[in-house]
Amino acid sequence: MTATTPIRWGILGPGSIAQSFAGGVAASRTGKLVAIGARNPAKPGLAESFPGARILDGYDALLADPDIDAIYISIPHPGHAQWAIKAAEAGKHVLCEKPLALTAFEADAMMHAARKAGT
């Protein structure tokens, strides 16, 4: 990725807030939405909610995708720390919906995982 290459985004969790984020990425010159990780990829209307993005079967599939630079975490709060750490370990940059974590310990673990991975 260079200064002129758009950030290739993946969204973990296809809820309504993720749709708002996707709209922002679509309007950006510095980002491109590549894929959505969904627990129910066959959900009616899912592909139409994220035009141009691939719909992947599960969150792990999204993290394993080599065409993604950064992950937007838009899942229920209790999963933020777990999936942010997994994303960092997969070499992805992370943008996490608020609240970042449920505890200071979780937030610290997320920060350390990102630093260790260099993301």
The catalytic site residues sit at 98
SS3 20: helix
Q: Are strands 7-12 and 54-57 parallel, antiparallel or unpaired?
A: unpaired
Would you state the structure tokens that stand for residue 100, as one six-digit string?
A: 């970042």
Q: How far apart are CA 38 and CA 77, in angstroms?
A: 16
Nearest to 59 by CA among 69, 73, 43: 73
